[in-house]
Amino acid sequence: MAQETSRSIGPVILLGPPGAGKGTQAKRIEQHYHIPQISTGDILRQNVKTGTKLGRAAKAVMERGQLVPDELVCPMVAERLRDVDCERGFILDGFPRTAAQAGWLDAFLENEFFDKSNGCNRLPIVIRLDVDYNELLRRLTGRRSCPTCGRTYNVHLQPPKVDELCDVDGTKLIVREDDREEVIRERLNEFDQQTRPVADYYQAKGRLMTVNGDLPMDQVTAQIFCIIDNQV
């Protein structure tokens, strides 16, 4: 596929549970359309590391074991989205997580993300990766880690060259505690409860596009590119 380097793409939001392949697809979108992938986790860590006013406030909240509130997260996101590399578009990773954040994002984009090429404000292209629950379990329980070097594998999707042994140092791979099935089931249930309102928000506005994430990776990518191309 030819890469895009000039068209204004606008904001792209990928929704989907752990194991749906959002990270892989976000990287492919980034490389194909040359727009940055924006991670709220990275934004938060950078603000804390550099000691910005928002970062100091967020650090104090996290040290109390609490979730960083929207009044701190949203201004950090806004500051990042104003950077010059986001002018043609960007991919949001881990945001919005709530319907309130989705509403804030729409308002921010309507006010500030103005597409000079056609004189229009650009609302997000919202794509949900829909994956069967049992397939999610299969993917997530297939994760293995090297206790020595930290490299990760997946016995179904990215297996080591020698079964159960690390390619780098030959150490026997382990299943981390948070990769055990009972933990994964709990994570998936929590994710569904927390993020369903975000999908409902965009569905109500007629902007939610769904892709079958059970398909082979390249077919999923092709569907995503088709959606983006048809909307820009």
Q: Determine phi and psi for 221, rounding to 5 degrees.
A: -60, -45
Give the model confidence (pLDDT) of 216-232 as tens digits.
999 999 999 999 999 87
Domain boundaries, the chain: 10-35+88-231
- Active-site entry in 7, 151, 185, 187: 187
- Residue 167 and residue 149: Cα distance in Å, rounded? 10
Banded model confidence at residue 4, pLDDT cuts 50, 70, 90: low
Question: Is 187 one of the catalytic residues?
Answer: yes
Question: Is 151 one of the catalytic residues?
Answer: no
- Active-site entry in 7, 59, 97, 138: 97
Structure tokens at 2: 């030819």
- Answer for the pair 33, 9: CB distance below 8 angstroms, yes or no: yes
- Active-site entry in 88, 122, 143, 144: 143
- Active-site entry in 176, 180, 196, 205: 176
Residues in the chain: 232
Residue 115 has pLDDT above 70, yes or no: no
Q: Determine the straight-line distance between the first and last CA of the chain, rounded to whole angstroms.
A: 17
Q: What is the model's pLDDT at position 129?
A: 96
Q: What is the model's pLDDT at position 94?
A: 81
Give the model confidence (pLDDT) of 145-175 as tens digits.
999 999 999 999 889 999 999 999 999 999 9
Containing H/E element for 229? helix 217-231
Question: Is 80 one of the catalytic residues?
Answer: no
Q: What is the mean pLDDT of the chain?
A: 91
Q: What is the model's pLDDT at position 7?
A: 81
Predicted TM-score (pTM) of the model is 0.84
Share of the chain above pLDDT 70, in %: 94
- Residue 9 and residue 231: Cα distance in Å, rounded? 9
**Which one-letter DSSP state was computed for residue 8?**
-
Residue 52 has pLDDT above 60, yes or no: yes
Identity of the residue numbered 136:
L
- Domain 10-35+88-231 -> CATH class: alpha beta
C-alpha triplet 40, 46, 48: angle, nearest 5°? 105
* Helix/strand/coil (H/E/C) assignment for every residue in 33-89: HCCCEEEHHHHHHHHHHHCCHHHHHHHHHHHCCCCCCHHHHHHHHHHHHCCHHHCCE
Question: Is 144 one of the catalytic residues?
Answer: no
Question: Is 97 one of the catalytic residues?
Answer: yes
Q: What is the model's pLDDT at position 141?
A: 94
Residue 49 has pLDDT above 60, yes or no: yes
Banded model confidence at residue 26, pLDDT cuts 50, 70, 90: very high
